[in-house]
Chain A
Amino acid sequence: MWPQFASAPISSILLDRKLALIFLGFAVLLLGLFGMGIPGWPCPILQSLGIPCPGCGLTRATFLLIRGHVHASLTYHAFAPIFLLGLAVVGAAGLLPDIARPFLEKLVTPERRTGILFILLTVLILYWLARLLFLHSSFVQLIRS
């Protein structure tokens, strides 16, 4: 029904240590830069069109969640806990020794079989559209703050 599941991206990251480390490195770098008050990755959509993309605010939300500011984190982006969980799994895939890898490989089959990522992404797009349509000015103001 959904042929894209065959190329499940999270699975390909989990099964490739190098890729997992690249992804983890980017995430840690972005969170670190944000923590130091240095502007990090410039979102091409926000910068050029002035419209926040579906992932805008996720770095801030994740940073705030790590610091324990749950309410503020969820205000910036409701998907921060899911992103942080995904980041932890990707981090484990990059850093755990080979002996622990069979456990991670067990996570691959459910992603391919259930299409959980596709469902999450659909909900994320709907969440973004709702913010954009019903809370437009406060959403843009929040992300630009």
Chain B
Amino acid sequence: MLGILAMLVGIGSLICFIMVLIKQFQNAGAVHGIIGIITCGIWTLIWGWMNADKLGIKNIMMIWTALILINLVLNFAFGASMVPYTAAPTNLAP
């Protein structure tokens, strides 16, 4: 049940991310868009909130932020024990 919820939240988050990312590519340029991708959406989230009123994407931003918060809570409550600190990887390809 929680797995399905996490998956749905993840997909919703991805859809919102893509919608804002498209706006970012269109309005701020390719460099901003690529930075949005490589920061796993953090830069896109900040940029989206900075331009939410101007671009009329406040609703998308609110939904996306809510989904991220739900995701963080789910990860923290049920996934924390599955993400141990690893000092050094041991099973690496050459």
> Are A125 and B75 in contact, with the CB atoms below 8 A?
no
Q: How many chain B residues touch the partner (CB < 8 A)?
A: 39
Residues of B bordering A, CB below 8 Å? 7, 10-11, 13-14, 17, 28-32, 34-35, 37-43, 46, 50, 68, 71-72, 75-76, 79-80, 83-89, 91-93
Residues of A bordering B, CB below 8 Å? 3-5, 7-9, 19, 22-23, 26, 34-35, 37-49, 53-56, 58, 60, 64, 67, 69, 71-72, 75-76, 117-118, 121, 124-125, 135, 138-139, 141-142, 145
Beyond A44-B13, A48-B13, list 10 extra A-B contacts (CB 8 Å): A23-B46, A37-B84, A38-B83, A42-B71, A42-B75, A56-B40, A64-B87, A67-B87, A71-B88, A72-B88
> Are A47 and B46 in contact, with the CB atoms below 8 A?
no
- Residues of B with C-beta under 8 A to A43: 40-41
Name 29 A/B residue pairs within 8 A (Cβ), A-sorted.
A3-B29, A4-B29, A7-B31, A8-B31, A9-B31, A19-B46, A22-B46, A23-B46, A38-B76, A42-B13, A42-B40, A42-B75, A43-B41, A44-B13, A44-B14, A44-B41, A45-B17, A47-B10, A47-B13, A48-B10, A53-B38, A53-B40, A54-B37, A54-B38, A55-B40, A69-B88, A76-B89, A121-B35, A124-B38
> Are A7 and B29 in contact, with the CB atoms below 8 A?
yes
Which of chain B's residues has its CB closest to A139's CB?
A: B93
Most buried by B among A22, A40, A48, A69: A48
The 8 A-B pairs with the shortest beta carbon distances in the complex, nearest first, are: A138-B93, A55-B38, A4-B29, A43-B40, A72-B88, A48-B14, A39-B75, A47-B10
> Are A26 and B42 in contact, with the CB atoms below 8 A?
yes
- Residues of A with C-beta under 8 A to B32: 4, 7, 9
Q: Given A55-B38, A72-B88, does the pair A42, B72 have CB atoms closer than 8 Å?
A: yes
- Residues of A with C-beta under 8 A to B39: 55
